[in-house]
Amino acid sequence: MLDGIAGRVALVTGSGQGIGRATAERLAAEGAHVCVNDIDAERADAVARAIGGLALPFDASDASAVREALIRCERDRGVVELLVANHAHMTMAPFLAQNEADLARTLEVNLLGTAWLLQLCVPAMAKRGYGRVVAIASEWGVTGWPNASAYAASKGAIIALIKSAAREFAASGVAINAVAPGVTDTAQLDVDAADAGLTHEQMVEAYSRDVPIGRIGRASDVAATVAFLLSTPAIAFVGHVVAPNGGSTRL
């Protein structure tokens, strides 16, 4: 068991599936009281039931909805002490073909949603003298990626946001970091597959050829990294970008 997780209140956004779900499950196994968020209420409810958590369906890009969810979380579970900003919106298209609505939605969900969560959660952590925040960025936010300009830009901006916020709040006992996974085998990979004209399985095989360990990431790989960064010893990590990607990029 990791020190500092059991008994604490955790909020994991976008945890109805994929990396978010694996993270919620890992934190629950570590003894945290997990609030499960997803924009899809049925998915949030299903995961919450499975792990004994609290379902909080909301759209992370809506600051008012985030605020209302945090009020309910505090009433039913307590103040959020561990925050995982995992929510994401992604489409793929050549940059010049990216329509305005998709570009705006990607930035609103990924970047602004993370900003609202930080603004609304971190002050209470700082007041209590303890908190841990992990934002899920992406390897593509570091390297860029063709046909994923908006997504990569939003994830790169999250990294800058996290680095800046980490410097502001570290002295208050709040450790803020980012995890930048490489390609991971989740439902989101279907977006890549559709863009490439491949099946999910073919996309996994194609991406795996470029990873030194011979396979793409698993949601459990990322969840394990996040869990460590949420633990008490992780106070030594301030504004870091940790990259569980099998060696495809070394930050």
User: Which residues belong to the active site?
Assistant: 151
Angstrom CA distances, 26 to 5, 10, 237, stand at 10, 11, 20
The residues near 99 (Cβ < 8 Å, ≥ 6 apart) are 93
> b/e per residue, 53-63, with b = 16+ CB within 10 A?
bbbbbbbbbbb
